[in-house]
Amino acid sequence: MAAVVKGADVALKLKEDIACRLEKLRADGRDAKLAILSAGDDPANASYERGIIKVFTSLGIAHEKVVLEEGITQQEFDEAFTKLNEDASVTGILVFRPLPKPLSIEFAAKTINPDKDIDCMGYINQALTAMGSRECYYPCTAEAVLKFLEYENYDLAYKNVVVIGRSTVVGRPLVSMLISRNATVTCCHTKTADITDRISNADVIVTAAGSTGLLKGEMLKNAKEDCFCIDVGINMRKDGQGICGDIDFESVEPLVGRITTVPGGVGSVTSTLLAEHVVRGAEIMRR
């Protein structure tokens, strides 16, 4: 039976550090503030937004949401973004993506202040992440995976890690982040023909494909008994009652050493890291 690593425990450690840093900022007469920008109110973002607001409210970090009507022009969107980008009170900007068509994120990605780019939307932070830099903002969900490993004091050197997923938000940046920490990484995806063979020697498996039940127990019969499975997938259950991950928990859990759940896993850590990045932005702007 696997040990379940809870997101709440990982997030609590992060929140304690954030609270101390906020206190120092405010003693210096500064504060942190998040601006969320969205074009239209996409229901798909509702769960993520609720988690963000809950974390920011509990930490006492200011946040505002700017909702632009669907059907706005590219120029109107870019102007709204520029206003936030130039607002000295805003220390972090989060743009809900994907934008409704035909809007493009390109202008925002090119022009965002790298110190406000708290979820690695901009090209500068994306490039630094790909180059293995540790002096940049990582995508929060990908970084959450690292925080689970750090919480468990997991040394990645000489370890085999399989990442299932190749999105620019999680899979691809996570591969770079893991390699920079001396892991040996294999990237699979939903079109990989022999995932079962590729995970047979894995010390860590990260699922980030957005495919319900992608990783099943039958695929882990030859896997290491102490394998750590981290579920990043967010999917609606077939019955419409809540969310689930990419891992078929009931069949996988008895076969591995450590595992995370959905919900109750990576999501809460992602929202907390967003808060940490906003505070970091305030610290940078203070210098």
pLDDT at position 243 is 87
CA pair distance 5, 260, nearest whole angstrom? 5
pLDDT at position 1 is 80
CA pair distance 122, 217, nearest whole angstrom? 38
pTM: 0.93
3-state secondary structure of 17: helix
pLDDT at position 254 is 94
- What's the DSSP call for residue 215? B
CATH architecture under which domain 140-267 falls: 3-Layer(aba) Sandwich (3.40)
* Domains 27-116 and 140-267 agree in fold: yes
- Pairing mode, if any, of strands 235-236 and 243-244? antiparallel
Mean pLDDT for each 10-residue chunk of the chain (287 residues)? 94 96 94 95 77 95 94 96 97 94 96 97 97 94 98 96 95 97 94 91 95 93 91 84 90 96 94 97 81
pLDDT at position 41 is 76
The domain limits of the chain are 27-116, 140-267
Residue 147: what residue type?
Answer: K
CATH number of the structural domain 27-116: 3.40.50.10860
